[in-house]
Structure 1
Amino acid sequence: MIPVSKYRSSTNVYMNQNMRIIVVLSVLFGSLFATKECSTGENCEIKCMTNCSNCSRDNVCEQCEPGYFLNNHICYKCPSNCISCSSLDKCGICKDGFYNERRYDVSRPPLRTNCSLRCREECSSCISYKYCNNCTDGGHLCHCKTRNESSKICASCYRRNYGNYCNRSCSVGCKNHLCDFNAGTCECIHNFQGDYCDRCIDGKYGRKCEKQCERCYPGTACEKHSGVCDECVEGFYSRTCDLPCSANCKSCKKNYGHHCITCKPGKYGKKTEENGKEYIACHNDCSDHCLNKTCTRDSGNCYTGCVKGHWGVRCGSTCSVYCKDSECFQGNGSCLCCREGQYGSYCDKPCQVGCKENICTRDGNCKKCKKGFTGSKCETCEECISVVTIIIPATSSLFVIAVVIIISIVVIRR
Protein backbone atom coordinates (compact mmCIF):
# COMPACT_ATOMS: atom_id res chain seq x y z
CA MET A 1 0.00 0.00 0.00
CA ILE A 2 1.02 3.60 -0.61
CA PRO A 3 1.52 5.60 2.52
CA VAL A 4 -1.08 8.31 3.09
CA SER A 5 1.56 11.00 3.47
CA LYS A 6 3.15 10.08 0.16
CA TYR A 7 -0.30 10.05 -1.55
CA ARG A 8 -1.12 13.51 -0.21
CA SER A 9 2.26 14.81 -1.34
CA SER A 10 1.81 13.56 -4.91
CA THR A 11 -1.73 14.95 -4.99
CA ASN A 12 -0.50 18.38 -3.89
CA VAL A 13 2.17 18.37 -6.60
CA TYR A 14 -0.45 17.46 -9.20
CA MET A 15 -2.81 20.21 -8.03
CA ASN A 16 0.00 22.77 -7.97
CA GLN A 17 0.89 21.92 -11.56
CA ASN A 18 -2.74 22.30 -12.63
CA MET A 19 -2.99 25.64 -10.88
CA ARG A 20 0.10 26.88 -12.67
CA ILE A 21 -1.40 25.86 -16.01
CA ILE A 22 -4.64 27.67 -15.16
CA VAL A 23 -2.74 30.82 -14.18
CA VAL A 24 -0.73 30.78 -17.42
CA LEU A 25 -3.88 30.28 -19.53
CA SER A 26 -5.66 33.07 -17.72
CA VAL A 27 -2.75 35.41 -18.44
CA LEU A 28 -2.65 34.41 -22.11
CA PHE A 29 -6.37 34.57 -22.83
CA GLY A 30 -7.64 36.82 -20.07
CA SER A 31 -7.67 39.85 -22.36
CA LEU A 32 -10.23 38.12 -24.56
CA PHE A 33 -12.74 38.01 -21.73
CA ALA A 34 -11.68 41.04 -19.66
CA THR A 35 -14.25 43.77 -19.10
CA LYS A 36 -12.09 46.24 -17.22
CA GLU A 37 -12.56 49.93 -18.03
CA CYS A 38 -9.79 51.53 -20.10
CA SER A 39 -9.12 54.67 -22.09
CA THR A 40 -6.36 54.12 -24.63
CA GLY A 41 -3.45 51.88 -25.66
CA GLU A 42 -3.33 48.98 -28.13
CA ASN A 43 -4.86 46.57 -25.62
CA CYS A 44 -6.76 49.18 -23.59
CA GLU A 45 -4.20 48.86 -20.85
CA ILE A 46 -3.78 52.58 -20.12
CA LYS A 47 -6.15 54.50 -17.86
CA CYS A 48 -6.07 58.25 -18.75
CA MET A 49 -5.87 60.84 -15.98
CA THR A 50 -9.00 62.44 -14.56
CA ASN A 51 -11.07 64.57 -16.99
CA CYS A 52 -8.91 63.43 -19.94
CA SER A 53 -10.80 61.72 -22.78
CA ASN A 54 -7.79 60.71 -24.88
CA CYS A 55 -4.14 60.20 -23.97
CA SER A 56 -0.98 58.71 -25.43
CA ARG A 57 0.61 55.41 -24.36
CA ASP A 58 2.81 57.47 -22.08
CA ASN A 59 -0.36 58.72 -20.38
CA VAL A 60 0.10 62.23 -21.80
CA CYS A 61 -3.31 63.85 -22.22
CA GLU A 62 -4.19 64.93 -25.75
CA GLN A 63 -7.88 65.80 -25.40
CA CYS A 64 -10.09 66.76 -22.47
CA GLU A 65 -13.64 65.84 -21.65
CA PRO A 66 -16.42 68.43 -22.33
CA GLY A 67 -16.29 71.34 -19.89
CA TYR A 68 -12.49 71.21 -19.55
CA PHE A 69 -9.61 72.72 -21.52
CA LEU A 70 -6.08 71.42 -22.11
CA ASN A 71 -3.02 73.29 -20.92
CA ASN A 72 0.40 71.62 -20.82
CA HIS A 73 -1.30 68.20 -21.08
CA ILE A 74 -3.41 68.86 -18.00
CA CYS A 75 -7.20 69.30 -18.07
CA TYR A 76 -8.60 72.34 -16.25
CA LYS A 77 -12.27 73.08 -15.64
CA CYS A 78 -13.89 75.81 -17.76
CA PRO A 79 -15.51 78.84 -16.08
CA SER A 80 -18.87 77.99 -14.54
CA ASN A 81 -20.93 79.68 -17.28
CA CYS A 82 -19.09 77.99 -20.17
CA ILE A 83 -20.12 74.83 -22.00
CA SER A 84 -16.80 74.72 -23.85
CA CYS A 85 -13.66 76.82 -23.62
CA SER A 86 -10.01 77.05 -24.70
CA SER A 87 -8.80 78.85 -21.56
CA LEU A 88 -10.12 80.45 -18.37
CA ASP A 89 -11.02 83.64 -20.22
CA LYS A 90 -12.06 82.30 -23.65
CA CYS A 91 -15.37 80.45 -23.83
CA GLY A 92 -16.62 79.05 -27.10
CA ILE A 93 -20.22 78.31 -26.07
CA CYS A 94 -22.06 79.89 -23.15
CA LYS A 95 -24.70 78.30 -20.97
CA ASP A 96 -28.25 79.56 -21.35
CA GLY A 97 -28.67 82.97 -19.75
CA PHE A 98 -25.09 84.17 -20.46
CA TYR A 99 -23.28 85.61 -23.46
CA ASN A 100 -19.96 86.93 -24.77
CA GLU A 101 -19.89 90.54 -25.94
CA ARG A 102 -19.43 94.04 -24.50
CA ARG A 103 -21.39 95.42 -21.57
CA TYR A 104 -24.27 97.54 -22.83
CA ASP A 105 -24.19 100.04 -19.94
CA VAL A 106 -20.50 101.04 -20.09
CA SER A 107 -18.92 103.50 -22.54
CA ARG A 108 -16.31 101.74 -24.69
CA PRO A 109 -16.37 98.52 -22.67
CA PRO A 110 -13.79 95.76 -23.16
CA LEU A 111 -14.87 92.61 -24.95
CA ARG A 112 -15.88 89.84 -22.55
CA THR A 113 -15.20 86.29 -23.74
CA ASN A 114 -15.67 84.25 -20.52
CA CYS A 115 -19.48 84.12 -20.54
CA SER A 116 -19.65 86.43 -17.53
CA LEU A 117 -22.36 88.71 -18.98
CA ARG A 118 -25.95 87.81 -18.10
CA CYS A 119 -28.89 88.04 -20.54
CA ARG A 120 -31.86 90.28 -19.78
CA GLU A 121 -34.39 88.83 -17.34
CA GLU A 122 -36.93 88.19 -20.10
CA CYS A 123 -34.35 86.21 -22.16
CA SER A 124 -33.70 82.57 -21.35
CA SER A 125 -30.83 82.60 -23.87
CA CYS A 126 -29.30 85.37 -25.96
CA ILE A 127 -26.49 86.28 -28.33
CA SER A 128 -26.16 89.79 -26.83
CA TYR A 129 -27.98 92.02 -24.34
CA LYS A 130 -30.28 93.28 -27.08
CA TYR A 131 -30.89 90.09 -29.03
CA CYS A 132 -32.60 87.16 -27.36
CA ASN A 133 -32.70 83.66 -28.78
CA ASN A 134 -35.56 82.54 -26.51
CA CYS A 135 -37.85 84.32 -24.10
CA THR A 136 -38.34 83.21 -20.47
CA ASP A 137 -42.12 83.34 -20.82
CA GLY A 138 -42.04 81.23 -23.97
CA GLY A 139 -43.40 84.14 -26.01
CA HIS A 140 -41.81 86.78 -28.25
CA LEU A 141 -41.93 90.06 -26.32
CA CYS A 142 -38.33 89.78 -25.18
CA HIS A 143 -37.35 90.66 -28.76
CA CYS A 144 -39.03 94.08 -28.56
CA LYS A 145 -37.14 97.31 -28.22
CA THR A 146 -40.33 98.98 -26.96
CA ARG A 147 -43.66 97.34 -26.25
CA ASN A 148 -47.31 98.15 -26.66
CA GLU A 149 -48.53 96.91 -23.30
CA SER A 150 -52.20 97.17 -24.17
CA SER A 151 -51.98 94.86 -27.19
CA LYS A 152 -49.00 92.82 -25.99
CA ILE A 153 -47.08 93.37 -29.22
CA CYS A 154 -43.89 95.26 -30.01
CA ALA A 155 -43.98 98.95 -30.81
CA SER A 156 -40.43 98.96 -32.22
CA CYS A 157 -37.56 96.55 -32.77
CA TYR A 158 -33.84 96.56 -32.37
CA ARG A 159 -31.81 96.67 -35.56
CA ARG A 160 -31.90 93.49 -37.67
CA ASN A 161 -35.49 92.58 -36.66
CA TYR A 162 -39.03 93.51 -37.64
CA GLY A 163 -42.65 92.40 -37.19
CA ASN A 164 -45.20 92.58 -34.37
CA TYR A 165 -43.01 90.42 -32.15
CA CYS A 166 -39.64 91.47 -33.64
CA ASN A 167 -39.02 87.81 -34.30
CA ARG A 168 -38.34 88.19 -38.02
CA SER A 169 -34.89 89.13 -39.33
CA CYS A 170 -34.13 91.90 -41.81
CA SER A 171 -32.13 90.75 -44.81
CA VAL A 172 -28.37 90.90 -44.50
CA GLY A 173 -28.52 93.17 -47.54
CA CYS A 174 -30.44 95.91 -45.71
CA LYS A 175 -28.49 99.12 -45.23
CA ASN A 176 -27.43 99.59 -41.59
CA HIS A 177 -29.38 96.38 -40.79
CA LEU A 178 -32.59 98.44 -40.72
CA CYS A 179 -35.85 97.46 -42.40
CA ASP A 180 -39.52 98.48 -42.32
CA PHE A 181 -41.15 97.46 -39.02
CA ASN A 182 -44.21 95.93 -40.71
CA ALA A 183 -43.06 94.71 -44.13
CA GLY A 184 -39.30 94.15 -43.77
CA THR A 185 -38.52 96.11 -46.93
CA CYS A 186 -35.34 98.18 -46.91
CA GLU A 187 -32.70 100.13 -48.78
CA CYS A 188 -30.02 97.85 -50.25
CA ILE A 189 -26.30 97.89 -49.71
CA HIS A 190 -23.84 97.28 -52.56
CA ASN A 191 -24.35 94.05 -54.59
CA PHE A 192 -27.90 93.41 -53.31
CA GLN A 193 -31.24 94.00 -55.04
CA GLY A 194 -34.99 93.47 -54.54
CA ASP A 195 -37.60 94.99 -52.21
CA TYR A 196 -36.16 93.04 -49.29
CA CYS A 197 -32.53 93.24 -50.49
CA ASP A 198 -32.39 89.47 -50.31
CA ARG A 199 -31.11 88.83 -53.83
CA CYS A 200 -27.66 89.35 -55.33
CA ILE A 201 -27.16 91.43 -58.43
CA ASP A 202 -26.26 89.50 -61.59
CA GLY A 203 -22.78 88.03 -61.41
CA LYS A 204 -22.60 87.88 -57.59
CA TYR A 205 -23.34 85.24 -54.95
CA GLY A 206 -22.57 84.41 -51.31
CA ARG A 207 -24.17 85.33 -48.00
CA LYS A 208 -23.06 88.92 -48.49
CA CYS A 209 -23.14 88.73 -52.31
CA GLU A 210 -19.38 89.27 -52.22
CA LYS A 211 -18.36 86.35 -54.45
CA GLN A 212 -18.09 86.55 -58.21
CA CYS A 213 -20.01 84.18 -60.51
CA GLU A 214 -16.94 84.16 -62.73
CA ARG A 215 -18.05 81.74 -65.40
CA CYS A 216 -21.82 82.19 -65.38
CA TYR A 217 -23.05 83.51 -68.72
CA PRO A 218 -23.34 87.33 -68.62
CA GLY A 219 -26.86 88.49 -67.94
CA THR A 220 -27.91 85.22 -66.28
CA ALA A 221 -28.23 84.66 -62.55
CA CYS A 222 -26.40 82.33 -60.22
CA GLU A 223 -27.91 80.92 -57.01
CA LYS A 224 -27.31 83.33 -54.12
CA HIS A 225 -25.79 80.92 -51.61
CA SER A 226 -24.09 78.24 -53.72
CA GLY A 227 -23.13 80.10 -56.89
CA VAL A 228 -24.93 77.56 -59.11
CA CYS A 229 -25.25 79.10 -62.59
CA ASP A 230 -28.28 79.13 -64.86
CA GLU A 231 -25.97 79.02 -67.89
CA CYS A 232 -22.18 78.84 -68.40
CA VAL A 233 -19.86 80.92 -70.54
CA GLU A 234 -18.47 79.23 -73.62
CA GLY A 235 -15.96 76.49 -72.86
CA PHE A 236 -17.10 75.61 -69.31
CA TYR A 237 -19.68 73.40 -67.62
CA SER A 238 -20.85 72.01 -64.20
CA ARG A 239 -23.29 73.47 -61.65
CA THR A 240 -20.90 76.33 -60.90
CA CYS A 241 -19.35 76.42 -64.39
CA ASP A 242 -15.84 75.82 -63.04
CA LEU A 243 -14.91 72.80 -65.21
CA PRO A 244 -13.60 73.09 -68.81
CA CYS A 245 -15.42 71.32 -71.64
CA SER A 246 -13.61 68.41 -73.31
CA ALA A 247 -10.64 69.29 -75.52
CA ASN A 248 -12.57 69.30 -78.83
CA CYS A 249 -15.61 71.27 -77.62
CA LYS A 250 -15.89 75.01 -78.14
CA SER A 251 -19.04 74.93 -75.99
CA CYS A 252 -20.76 72.04 -74.23
CA LYS A 253 -23.92 71.19 -72.35
CA LYS A 254 -24.03 72.53 -68.80
CA ASN A 255 -24.01 69.13 -67.08
CA TYR A 256 -21.94 67.10 -69.57
CA GLY A 257 -18.45 68.28 -70.48
CA HIS A 258 -18.03 65.88 -73.42
CA HIS A 259 -21.45 66.65 -74.93
CA CYS A 260 -20.43 69.37 -77.39
CA ILE A 261 -22.84 72.05 -78.61
CA THR A 262 -20.23 73.56 -80.94
CA CYS A 263 -16.81 72.23 -81.94
CA LYS A 264 -13.48 73.98 -81.75
CA PRO A 265 -12.09 75.21 -85.13
CA GLY A 266 -10.83 72.26 -87.14
CA LYS A 267 -13.16 69.69 -85.52
CA TYR A 268 -16.54 68.16 -86.32
CA GLY A 269 -18.53 65.03 -85.52
CA LYS A 270 -21.80 63.31 -86.18
CA LYS A 271 -24.76 63.50 -83.84
CA THR A 272 -24.78 60.68 -81.31
CA GLU A 273 -26.78 59.72 -78.24
CA GLU A 274 -25.90 58.74 -74.69
CA ASN A 275 -28.46 57.89 -72.00
CA GLY A 276 -31.17 59.39 -74.16
CA LYS A 277 -29.29 62.67 -74.64
CA GLU A 278 -28.22 63.80 -78.11
CA TYR A 279 -24.90 65.58 -78.61
CA ILE A 280 -22.00 66.19 -81.00
CA ALA A 281 -18.75 64.34 -80.27
CA CYS A 282 -16.36 66.59 -82.32
CA HIS A 283 -13.85 63.76 -82.81
CA ASN A 284 -13.16 64.31 -86.54
CA ASP A 285 -10.79 66.78 -88.22
CA CYS A 286 -12.01 69.27 -90.80
CA SER A 287 -10.31 69.03 -94.21
CA ASP A 288 -7.03 70.89 -94.52
CA HIS A 289 -8.51 72.42 -97.68
CA CYS A 290 -11.31 74.17 -95.71
CA LEU A 291 -10.67 77.90 -95.38
CA ASN A 292 -9.31 78.53 -91.87
CA LYS A 293 -9.83 74.79 -91.38
CA THR A 294 -13.43 75.53 -90.39
CA CYS A 295 -16.33 73.22 -91.19
CA THR A 296 -19.90 72.47 -90.10
CA ARG A 297 -20.05 70.67 -86.74
CA ASP A 298 -22.01 67.60 -87.88
CA SER A 299 -21.12 67.10 -91.58
CA GLY A 300 -17.61 68.45 -91.99
CA ASN A 301 -18.64 70.65 -94.96
CA CYS A 302 -16.44 73.68 -95.54
CA TYR A 303 -19.01 76.46 -95.04
CA THR A 304 -16.56 79.39 -95.05
CA GLY A 305 -14.97 78.45 -98.36
CA CYS A 306 -11.90 76.60 -99.66
CA VAL A 307 -8.24 77.42 -99.69
CA LYS A 308 -6.93 78.53 -103.10
CA GLY A 309 -6.88 75.77 -105.70
CA HIS A 310 -9.74 73.63 -104.31
CA TRP A 311 -13.51 73.37 -104.58
CA GLY A 312 -16.43 71.17 -103.43
CA VAL A 313 -18.54 70.88 -100.25
CA ARG A 314 -15.46 69.56 -98.44
CA CYS A 315 -13.01 71.21 -100.84
CA GLY A 316 -11.78 67.83 -102.02
CA SER A 317 -11.55 68.69 -105.75
CA THR A 318 -8.81 70.66 -107.53
CA CYS A 319 -9.44 73.75 -109.64
CA SER A 320 -8.53 73.59 -113.38
CA VAL A 321 -4.90 74.29 -114.18
CA TYR A 322 -6.13 76.98 -116.60
CA CYS A 323 -7.84 78.98 -113.82
CA LYS A 324 -5.98 82.23 -113.21
CA ASP A 325 -4.19 82.13 -109.83
CA SER A 326 -5.76 78.65 -109.30
CA GLU A 327 -9.02 80.29 -108.15
CA CYS A 328 -12.41 78.72 -108.86
CA PHE A 329 -15.95 78.74 -107.45
CA GLN A 330 -16.52 76.34 -104.53
CA GLY A 331 -19.90 75.16 -105.82
CA ASN A 332 -18.97 73.84 -109.32
CA GLY A 333 -15.26 74.42 -109.80
CA SER A 334 -15.69 76.97 -112.61
CA CYS A 335 -12.86 79.48 -112.81
CA LEU A 336 -13.15 83.01 -111.51
CA CYS A 337 -10.83 84.18 -114.32
CA CYS A 338 -8.91 82.41 -117.09
CA ARG A 339 -5.24 82.32 -117.77
CA GLU A 340 -4.13 84.22 -120.90
CA GLY A 341 -5.04 82.40 -124.10
CA GLN A 342 -7.89 80.38 -122.57
CA TYR A 343 -11.66 80.76 -122.31
CA GLY A 344 -14.77 78.81 -121.18
CA SER A 345 -16.33 78.07 -117.77
CA TYR A 346 -13.31 75.98 -116.81
CA CYS A 347 -10.91 77.90 -119.06
CA ASP A 348 -10.09 74.68 -120.89
CA LYS A 349 -10.56 76.10 -124.43
CA PRO A 350 -7.81 78.02 -126.27
CA CYS A 351 -8.49 81.40 -127.87
CA GLN A 352 -8.67 81.38 -131.74
CA VAL A 353 -5.39 81.67 -133.56
CA GLY A 354 -6.58 84.93 -135.12
CA CYS A 355 -6.86 86.69 -131.76
CA LYS A 356 -4.28 89.43 -131.44
CA GLU A 357 -1.78 88.73 -128.61
CA ASN A 358 -3.79 85.57 -127.94
CA ILE A 359 -6.32 87.51 -125.84
CA CYS A 360 -10.01 86.69 -125.85
CA THR A 361 -13.02 87.19 -123.63
CA ARG A 362 -14.57 84.51 -121.37
CA ASP A 363 -16.90 83.46 -124.20
CA GLY A 364 -14.03 83.21 -126.75
CA ASN A 365 -14.47 86.53 -128.60
CA CYS A 366 -11.24 88.26 -129.47
CA LYS A 367 -10.65 91.79 -128.28
CA LYS A 368 -8.61 92.48 -131.43
CA CYS A 369 -7.79 90.39 -134.52
CA LYS A 370 -4.45 89.74 -136.08
CA LYS A 371 -3.86 91.18 -139.58
CA GLY A 372 -5.68 89.12 -142.17
CA PHE A 373 -8.41 87.88 -139.79
CA THR A 374 -11.83 89.17 -139.04
CA GLY A 375 -14.99 88.29 -137.13
CA SER A 376 -15.82 88.26 -133.44
CA LYS A 377 -13.45 85.34 -132.93
CA CYS A 378 -11.03 86.36 -135.67
CA GLU A 379 -11.42 83.05 -137.49
CA THR A 380 -12.36 84.39 -141.00
CA CYS A 381 -9.90 85.31 -143.83
CA GLU A 382 -10.19 89.07 -144.34
CA GLU A 383 -8.74 89.13 -147.97
CA CYS A 384 -11.27 86.58 -149.30
CA ILE A 385 -14.15 88.56 -147.83
CA SER A 386 -12.82 91.73 -149.52
CA VAL A 387 -12.81 90.13 -153.00
CA VAL A 388 -16.36 88.90 -152.65
CA THR A 389 -17.53 92.27 -151.35
CA ILE A 390 -16.06 94.09 -154.43
CA ILE A 391 -17.57 91.70 -157.03
CA ILE A 392 -21.09 91.58 -155.78
CA PRO A 393 -22.88 92.86 -152.80
CA ALA A 394 -24.18 90.17 -150.58
CA THR A 395 -27.95 90.06 -150.68
CA SER A 396 -28.33 86.84 -148.87
CA SER A 397 -26.10 84.43 -147.11
CA LEU A 398 -26.85 81.59 -149.56
CA PHE A 399 -26.09 83.81 -152.52
CA VAL A 400 -22.78 84.87 -151.04
CA ILE A 401 -21.78 81.27 -150.46
CA ALA A 402 -22.68 80.34 -154.06
CA VAL A 403 -20.66 83.22 -155.47
CA VAL A 404 -17.64 82.32 -153.36
CA ILE A 405 -17.80 78.74 -154.64
CA ILE A 406 -18.02 79.87 -158.30
CA ILE A 407 -15.11 82.25 -157.94
CA SER A 408 -13.04 79.58 -156.32
CA ILE A 409 -13.66 77.18 -159.23
CA VAL A 410 -12.74 79.82 -161.77
CA VAL A 411 -9.52 80.64 -159.99
CA ILE A 412 -8.55 76.98 -159.76
CA ARG A 413 -9.12 76.40 -163.51
CA ARG A 414 -6.91 79.33 -164.38
Structure 2
Amino acid sequence: MYGENCQYDCRCKDQAELCNKVTGACVSGCPEGYTAVNCTEVPCSGQTYGSDCKMRCNCKDPEETCDLKIGTCYSGCYKQFMGKACQWCANFCYGDKCQHKCKCKFKVEVCDKNDGHCSSCPFGWGGASCNECAEGFTGPNCTDCADTYYGTRCSRCNCKHIDEVCDKKTGNCSESGCRPRRTREACTGTIGRKEGNGLFNDALNAFY
Protein backbone atom coordinates (compact mmCIF):
# COMPACT_ATOMS: atom_id res chain seq x y z
CA MET A 1 0.00 0.00 0.00
CA TYR A 2 1.04 3.60 -0.46
CA GLY A 3 -0.04 7.19 0.15
CA GLU A 4 -0.01 9.56 3.11
CA ASN A 5 -2.26 7.32 5.10
CA CYS A 6 -1.47 4.11 3.19
CA GLN A 7 -4.95 4.33 1.75
CA TYR A 8 -4.11 3.12 -1.78
CA ASP A 9 -3.34 -0.36 -2.98
CA CYS A 10 -0.26 -0.99 -5.11
CA ARG A 11 -1.16 -1.86 -8.71
CA CYS A 12 2.12 -3.29 -9.99
CA LYS A 13 2.52 -5.75 -12.82
CA ASP A 14 4.29 -8.02 -10.35
CA GLN A 15 1.54 -8.45 -7.76
CA ALA A 16 4.08 -9.46 -5.13
CA GLU A 17 5.99 -6.18 -5.53
CA LEU A 18 5.83 -3.50 -2.85
CA CYS A 19 5.39 -0.22 -4.72
CA ASN A 20 6.90 3.12 -3.72
CA LYS A 21 5.32 4.08 -0.40
CA VAL A 22 4.82 7.69 -1.53
CA THR A 23 4.10 7.65 -5.27
CA GLY A 24 2.89 4.11 -5.86
CA ALA A 25 5.43 3.67 -8.68
CA CYS A 26 6.33 0.10 -9.61
CA VAL A 27 9.70 -1.26 -10.69
CA SER A 28 7.98 -4.04 -12.64
CA GLY A 29 5.77 -1.55 -14.46
CA CYS A 30 2.01 -1.43 -14.76
CA PRO A 31 -0.34 -4.32 -15.57
CA GLU A 32 -1.25 -4.75 -19.23
CA GLY A 33 -3.74 -2.11 -20.28
CA TYR A 34 -2.83 0.53 -17.71
CA THR A 35 -0.37 3.38 -17.39
CA ALA A 36 0.50 6.42 -15.20
CA VAL A 37 3.13 6.63 -12.44
CA ASN A 38 1.03 4.76 -9.92
CA CYS A 39 -0.72 2.48 -12.45
CA THR A 40 -4.13 3.81 -11.51
CA GLU A 41 -7.26 2.64 -13.23
CA VAL A 42 -6.48 4.57 -16.41
CA PRO A 43 -6.80 2.38 -19.52
CA CYS A 44 -4.48 2.80 -22.50
CA SER A 45 -5.65 5.61 -24.71
CA GLY A 46 -5.66 5.82 -28.50
CA GLN A 47 -4.20 2.85 -30.38
CA THR A 48 -1.96 1.37 -27.66
CA TYR A 49 -2.02 -1.67 -25.39
CA GLY A 50 0.10 -3.82 -23.10
CA SER A 51 2.43 -3.10 -20.21
CA ASP A 52 2.65 0.68 -19.69
CA CYS A 53 0.71 1.03 -22.98
CA LYS A 54 3.94 0.84 -24.99
CA MET A 55 2.64 -1.48 -27.71
CA ARG A 56 0.75 -0.12 -30.72
CA CYS A 57 -2.46 -1.63 -32.11
CA ASN A 58 -2.17 -2.77 -35.74
CA CYS A 59 -5.79 -3.49 -36.56
CA LYS A 60 -7.20 -3.71 -40.08
CA ASP A 61 -9.86 -1.21 -39.01
CA PRO A 62 -7.90 1.94 -38.05
CA GLU A 63 -10.78 3.09 -35.84
CA GLU A 64 -10.74 -0.10 -33.77
CA THR A 65 -9.24 -0.13 -30.28
CA CYS A 66 -7.51 -3.46 -29.82
CA ASP A 67 -7.64 -5.54 -26.66
CA LEU A 68 -5.90 -3.43 -24.00
CA LYS A 69 -4.10 -6.41 -22.52
CA ILE A 70 -3.01 -8.61 -25.46
CA GLY A 71 -3.58 -6.43 -28.54
CA THR A 72 -5.94 -8.72 -30.50
CA CYS A 73 -8.12 -7.10 -33.17
CA TYR A 74 -11.68 -8.16 -34.06
CA SER A 75 -11.24 -6.80 -37.60
CA GLY A 76 -8.01 -8.72 -38.15
CA CYS A 77 -4.53 -7.33 -38.79
CA TYR A 78 -3.54 -4.46 -41.01
CA LYS A 79 -2.17 -5.78 -44.31
CA GLN A 80 1.56 -5.77 -43.45
CA PHE A 81 1.12 -7.39 -40.01
CA MET A 82 0.37 -10.87 -38.73
CA GLY A 83 0.21 -12.75 -35.41
CA LYS A 84 -2.35 -13.03 -32.62
CA ALA A 85 -1.69 -9.44 -31.60
CA CYS A 86 -0.68 -8.31 -35.10
CA GLN A 87 2.78 -7.80 -33.66
CA TRP A 88 4.88 -9.39 -36.42
CA CYS A 89 5.61 -8.38 -39.97
CA ALA A 90 3.63 -10.32 -42.56
CA ASN A 91 5.59 -12.35 -45.08
CA PHE A 92 7.42 -10.20 -47.66
CA CYS A 93 7.37 -7.14 -45.36
CA TYR A 94 10.10 -5.82 -43.06
CA GLY A 95 11.20 -2.84 -40.96
CA ASP A 96 10.34 -1.24 -37.61
CA LYS A 97 6.74 -0.72 -38.74
CA CYS A 98 6.75 -3.45 -41.39
CA GLN A 99 6.38 -0.66 -43.96
CA HIS A 100 8.95 -1.94 -46.47
CA LYS A 101 8.44 -4.62 -49.11
CA CYS A 102 11.01 -7.37 -49.70
CA LYS A 103 12.94 -6.92 -52.95
CA CYS A 104 14.53 -10.33 -53.31
CA LYS A 105 15.40 -11.87 -56.69
CA PHE A 106 13.10 -14.80 -56.08
CA LYS A 107 9.53 -13.65 -55.41
CA VAL A 108 8.85 -16.61 -53.15
CA GLU A 109 11.72 -15.71 -50.81
CA VAL A 110 10.73 -14.13 -47.49
CA CYS A 111 13.40 -11.59 -46.60
CA ASP A 112 14.66 -10.95 -43.08
CA LYS A 113 11.81 -9.20 -41.27
CA ASN A 114 14.16 -6.88 -39.41
CA ASP A 115 16.50 -5.57 -42.10
CA GLY A 116 15.11 -7.00 -45.37
CA HIS A 117 18.20 -9.12 -46.12
CA CYS A 118 17.84 -11.38 -49.20
CA SER A 119 19.97 -14.28 -50.41
CA SER A 120 20.18 -12.63 -53.84
CA CYS A 121 18.91 -9.45 -55.53
CA PRO A 122 17.14 -8.79 -58.86
CA PHE A 123 19.32 -7.78 -61.80
CA GLY A 124 20.68 -4.27 -61.33
CA TRP A 125 19.98 -4.12 -57.59
CA GLY A 126 22.36 -4.58 -54.67
CA GLY A 127 22.84 -4.06 -50.95
CA ALA A 128 21.87 -6.40 -48.13
CA SER A 129 18.16 -5.63 -48.59
CA CYS A 130 18.34 -5.06 -52.37
CA ASN A 131 17.19 -1.46 -51.98
CA GLU A 132 20.08 0.24 -53.78
CA CYS A 133 21.63 0.01 -57.23
CA ALA A 134 24.39 -2.53 -57.74
CA GLU A 135 27.82 -1.34 -58.89
CA GLY A 136 27.63 0.05 -62.41
CA PHE A 137 23.87 0.66 -62.35
CA THR A 138 21.89 3.84 -61.71
CA GLY A 139 18.44 5.38 -62.17
CA PRO A 140 15.19 5.12 -60.19
CA ASN A 141 14.81 1.46 -61.17
CA CYS A 142 18.54 0.66 -61.46
CA THR A 143 18.16 -0.04 -65.18
CA ASP A 144 20.62 2.55 -66.52
CA CYS A 145 24.41 2.29 -66.66
CA ALA A 146 26.36 4.68 -64.47
CA ASP A 147 29.20 6.75 -65.94
CA THR A 148 32.20 4.63 -67.00
CA TYR A 149 29.94 1.59 -67.43
CA TYR A 150 28.25 0.29 -70.61
CA GLY A 151 26.20 -2.44 -72.28
CA THR A 152 23.19 -4.50 -71.26
CA ARG A 153 25.01 -5.71 -68.14
CA CYS A 154 26.64 -2.37 -67.31
CA SER A 155 30.22 -3.64 -67.61
CA ARG A 156 33.15 -1.39 -66.70
CA CYS A 157 34.61 0.75 -69.51
CA ASN A 158 38.15 -0.25 -70.53
CA CYS A 159 39.37 3.18 -71.60
CA LYS A 160 42.96 4.38 -71.26
CA HIS A 161 41.70 7.26 -69.14
CA ILE A 162 39.94 5.54 -66.27
CA ASP A 163 37.43 8.37 -65.79
CA GLU A 164 36.42 8.54 -69.46
CA VAL A 165 32.76 7.84 -70.17
CA CYS A 166 32.74 5.28 -72.96
CA ASP A 167 29.87 4.74 -75.40
CA LYS A 168 26.95 3.49 -73.25
CA LYS A 169 25.96 0.91 -75.88
CA THR A 170 29.21 -0.28 -77.46
CA GLY A 171 31.81 0.58 -74.82
CA ASN A 172 33.94 2.31 -77.47
CA CYS A 173 36.50 4.77 -76.06
CA SER A 174 36.54 7.60 -78.59
CA GLU A 175 38.74 10.02 -76.64
CA SER A 176 41.67 8.20 -75.06
CA GLY A 177 41.42 4.81 -76.74
CA CYS A 178 41.90 1.49 -74.98
CA ARG A 179 43.96 0.70 -71.93
CA PRO A 180 47.40 -0.78 -72.59
CA ARG A 181 47.25 -4.25 -74.20
CA ARG A 182 43.53 -3.90 -74.91
CA THR A 183 42.04 -3.91 -78.39
CA ARG A 184 38.82 -4.35 -80.40
CA GLU A 185 35.56 -2.50 -79.95
CA ALA A 186 34.82 -1.91 -76.24
CA CYS A 187 38.50 -2.73 -75.61
CA THR A 188 37.59 -6.22 -74.45
CA GLY A 189 40.28 -8.04 -76.40
CA THR A 190 43.88 -8.49 -75.20
CA ILE A 191 47.06 -8.17 -77.24
CA GLY A 192 49.53 -10.98 -76.69
CA ARG A 193 53.23 -10.20 -76.40
CA LYS A 194 56.38 -12.24 -76.93
CA GLU A 195 58.47 -12.89 -73.90
CA GLY A 196 62.15 -13.91 -73.74
CA ASN A 197 61.43 -17.48 -74.86
CA GLY A 198 59.36 -16.23 -77.83
CA LEU A 199 56.09 -17.74 -76.59
CA PHE A 200 52.75 -15.95 -76.75
CA ASN A 201 51.42 -15.40 -73.26
CA ASP A 202 47.94 -13.88 -73.28
CA ALA A 203 47.37 -14.91 -69.66
CA LEU A 204 49.76 -12.20 -68.51
CA ASN A 205 47.80 -9.57 -70.36
CA ALA A 206 44.79 -10.12 -68.15
CA PHE A 207 46.63 -8.18 -65.47
CA TYR A 208 47.13 -5.08 -67.65
TM range (shorter): 0.3 to 0.5
State the TM-score, normalizing by the size of structure 1. 0.20
Q: Which has the higher contact order (CA 8 A, sep 6+)?
A: 2
TM-score (norm 2): 0.36
